[in-house]
């Protein structure tokens, strides 16, 4: 198993850009939940906390692809550094407004400004695609590794963010996320030798990567998938608080990411058969089935037993996440031209961000109105919508490939 992962790091500079990319991605898992936890403590309302969290996600959905489009056109270093500086300034403003009890609207303005945060995960994957575009088996392993790193971020990040916010001071989680972002992006952009080349001729043709019909299906499906994630985060924090163990919510959410992480590690060593589109549909369907037990557990179990039950249900649900995300990124590489790969991958994360906005906001209002146990219906509904969207869009995924899908490894063609 480990030999598969060792092979991808044979390329010079690959370990450095992947490691720095991991550090710069930690804020993704820390910022939103850190803001929600901070404002829930300072404002006393999950509704406001969820709405500000949603504002950040919507802003990232609007601005993120545009930043990545500039990255594809002008290069990672030239765009990521100024984008990070703007993000840091907006984050500092948000923390100051929260601490000084400024008018509520200032929180939304500051959160919107943080939407220019560069998508380092997309930039890392673009580097892997440049290295191994002609070695699909290694690219599959590389994407799997990065999916595992994403999940490690979502194991470590919420624990740090929620733990610091609840035990040190409310703003501590968001502040540490800013430190990770600054260090990670500076380190990442210093790796000049592995930065993908630019394709100026392709950009003169104009047009967005989102013109791909298959990519549109992925984005809409990911909106619903993001709603699952955003709702689960907010509702789980509220459920833990209702049981008298707010800090334990970070551990429960870490178990969710752990399930995905373990599945990703195993999936990266496999050579999946069948079409990517079919595997993507299967993964989304598995997520929908896996999320259903949450409602039953939350309504029947309480106290420590309730938290343990929610953690077990989330672990099982998480097993389908990484394989689905890995397959989706492989699909993006086949659906859009190489010159627009960073933008194309960012559109999928944009869909997730927009879904997180919708899911966290709706879940926050349902928590305030009907309680955490009832609010678990929000991620269940989102999961069912994601499965239906993937099923309806299957012909577009199969018919919209810009690059033909490679033969499975092990066939005559594959040899």
Which residues make Cβ contacts (< 8 Å) with residue 157, sequence separation at least 6?
A: 26, 27, 28, 29, 30, 33, 177
d(CA 289, CA 73): 41
Residue 182 in any domain: the answer is yes
**Tell me, what CATH number does 94's domain have?**
1.20.1250.20
The answer to whether position 328 is within a domain reads yes
Q: State the residue for tokens 């209002």.
A: 365
3-state SS, residue 271: coil
Q: Is 183 helix (H, G, I), strand (E, B) or coil?
A: helix
Closest CA to 67 of 123, 129, 5: 123
**Token reading at 375:** 């609010």
In a domain, 415, yes or no: no
- pTM for the model stands at 0.79
CA 245 to CA 232: how far, in whole Å?
Answer: 16
Could you give the residue ranges of the DSSP H alpha helices within 168-275?
172-189, 200-204, 213-242, 249-267
The predicted pLDDT at position 401 comes to: 60
Domain assignment present for 363: yes
Residue 212: left (phi > 0), alpha (psi -120 to 50), or beta? beta
For residue 6, give every residue at least 6 positions away whose Cβ sits within 8 Å of its Cβ, in sequence order, or none: none
Question: What angle do helix axes 293-300 and 276-291 make, rounded to 10 degrees?
Answer: 10
Number of domains in the chain: 1
Q: Cα 414 to chain center, whole Å?
A: 32
Question: Domain for residue 309, yes or no?
Answer: yes
**Domain encompassing residue 392:** 17-192+209-399
Environment class of residue 274 by beta-carbon count within 10 Å: exposed (0-12), middle (13-18) or buried (19+)? exposed
Query: What is the spatial distance between Cα 373 and Cα 242, in angstroms, rounded to a whole number?
Result: 10
Return the closest-CA partner of residue 75 out of 133, 126, 134. Answer: 126
The C-alpha atoms of residue 264 and residue 28 are separated, in whole angstroms, by 19
pLDDT confidence of residue 382: 94
Question: Do 255 and 314 form a contact (C-beta atoms < 8 A)?
Answer: yes
Q: Is residue 164 part of a domain?
A: yes
Classify residue 408: in a domain, yes or no: no
- Calculate helix-pair angle for 14-43, 172-189, nearest 10 degrees: 160
Beta-carbon contacts of 322 under 8 Å, excluding residues fewer than 6 positions away, are 144, 147, 148, 150, 151, 260, 261, 263, 264, 267
Q: Which residues contact 220 (CB under 8 A, 6 or more apart)?
A: 351, 389, 393
Cα–Cα distance, 344 to 332 (Å, whole number): 6
Q: How far apart are CA 238 and CA 307, in angstroms?
A: 11
In a domain, 138, yes or no: yes
Q: What is residue 116's DSSP assignment?
A: G
pLDDT in tens, 36-85: 888 888 877 677 887 887 788 788 888 988 999 899 889 999 999 999 99
Q: Measured between alpha carbons, how far is 30 from 350 in angstroms, rounded to an integer?
A: 17
DSSP string, 293-355: HHHHHHHH--HHHHHHHHHHHHHHHHTTHHHHHHHHHHHHHHHS-GGGHHHHHHHHHHHHHHH
pLDDT of residue 39: 87
Q: Which residues contact 256 (CB under 8 A, 6 or more apart)?
A: 154, 232, 311, 314, 315, 317, 318
The parts of the chain modelled with pLDDT lower than 70 are: 1-2, 45, 199-207, 400-415
Do the Cβ atoms of 412 and 273 come closer than 8 Å?
no
- Residue 413 pLDDT: 31
d(CA 231, CA 50): 9
């Amino acid at each position: 198993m480990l030999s598969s992962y060792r092979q991808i790091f044979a390329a010079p500079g690959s370990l450095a850009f992947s490691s720095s990319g991991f550090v710069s991605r930690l804020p993704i898992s820390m910022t939103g939940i850190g803001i929600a936890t901070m404002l829930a403590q300072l404002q006393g309302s999950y509704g406001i906390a969820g709405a500000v969290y949603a504002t950040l996600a919507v802003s990232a959905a609007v601005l993120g692809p545009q930043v990545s489009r500039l990255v594809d056109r002008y290069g990672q270093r030239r765009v990521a550094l100024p984008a990070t500086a703007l993000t840091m300034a907006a984050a500092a403003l948000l923390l100051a407004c929260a601490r000084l009890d400024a008018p509520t609207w200032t929180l939304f303005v500051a959160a919107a400004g943080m939407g220019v945060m560069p998508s380092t995960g997309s930039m890392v994957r673009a580097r892997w695609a440049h290295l191994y575009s002609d070695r699909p088996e290694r690219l599959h392993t590389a994407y799997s590794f990065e999916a595992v790193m994403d999940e490690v971020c979502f194991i470590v990040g919420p624990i740090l963010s929620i733990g610091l916010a609840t035990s040190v001071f409310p703003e501590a989680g968001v502040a540490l996320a800013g430190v990770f972002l600054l260090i990670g992006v500076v380190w990442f952009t210093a790796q000049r030798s592995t930065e993908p080349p630019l394709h100026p001729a392709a950009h003169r043709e104009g047009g967005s990567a989102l013109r791909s019909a298959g990519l549109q299906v992925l984005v809409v499906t990911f909106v619903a998938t993001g709603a699952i994630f955003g709702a689960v985060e907010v509702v789980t924090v509220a459920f833990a608080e209702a049981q008298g163990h707010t800090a334990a919510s970070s551990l429960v959410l870490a178990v969710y990411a752990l399930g995905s992480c373990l599945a990703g590690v195993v999936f990266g060593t496999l050579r999946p058969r069948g079409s990517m589109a079919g595997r993507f549909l299967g993964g989304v369907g598995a997520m929908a089935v896996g999320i259903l037990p949450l409602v039953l557990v939350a309504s029947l179990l309480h106290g420590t037993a309730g938290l343990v039950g929610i953690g077990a249900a989330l672990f099982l649900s998480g097993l389908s996440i990484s394989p689905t995300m890995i397959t989706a990124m492989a699909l993006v590489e086949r659906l859009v031209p190489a010159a627009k790969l960073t933008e194309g991958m960012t559109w999928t994360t944009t869909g997730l961000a927009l879904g997180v906005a919708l899911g966290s906001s709706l879940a926050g209002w349902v928590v305030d109105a009907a309680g955490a146990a009832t609010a678990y219906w929000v991620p269940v509904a989102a999961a069912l919508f994601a499965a239906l969207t993937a099923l309806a869009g299957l012909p577009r995924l199969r018919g919209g490939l810009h690059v033909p899908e490679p033969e499975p490894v092990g066939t005559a063609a594959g040899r």
